[in-house]
Structure 1
Amino acid sequence: MGQQWPDALSSALSRYGDFSGRSRRRDYWLFVASYSALTVPTWTIGWSLIAGAVVVWAAEVTVLAAWWVLVATTLSLALLVPSYALAARRLQDLGRSPVWLLLNVVPYANYYVVYLCALDGTPGANQYGPDPKGRSYAPQPYLSSPSPWPSSPPQPYPPWLHRPPA
Structure 2
Amino acid sequence: MTFIESIKTVYAKYGTFSGRATRSEYRWFVLYTYIVLLAFFALGIIAQSESLGLGGIGIFIAISFIPCLALRVRRLHDIGKSGWWIFLGLVPYIGEFVLFIFSVMGSDGENEYGPDPFDED
Gaps of 5+ in 1: 53-60, 135-166
Deviation, 1:41, is 2.5
Aligned to 1:93: 78
Query: What's the RMSD between the two structures over aligned residues?
Result: 1.9
Q: Which amino acid aligns with 1:131?
A: D
Aligned to 1:115: 101
More helix by share: 2
Q: Distance in 2 between matches of 1:42 and 1:106?
A: 29
Aligned to 1:148: none
Calculate the TM-score normalised by the size of structure 2: 0.87
Q: Which amino acid aligns with 1:94?
A: I
Q: Distance in 1 between matches of 2:92 and 2:74?
A: 23
Calculate the TM-score normalised by the size of structure 1: 0.65
Per mean C-alpha deviation after superposition, the further-off stretch among 98-107 and 112-121 is 98-107
Q: Distance in 2 between matches of 1:37 and 1:9?
A: 12
Given the alignment, which residue of 49, 67, 70 partners 1:82?
Answer: 67
Structure with larger Rg: 1
Aligned to 1:130: 115
Given the alignment, which residue of 30, 33, 36 partners 2:34?
Answer: 36
Q: Distance in 2 between matches of 1:11 and 1:39?
A: 20
Given the alignment, which residue of 18, 21, 28 partners 1:20?
Answer: 18
Q: Which amino acid aligns with 1:17?
A: G
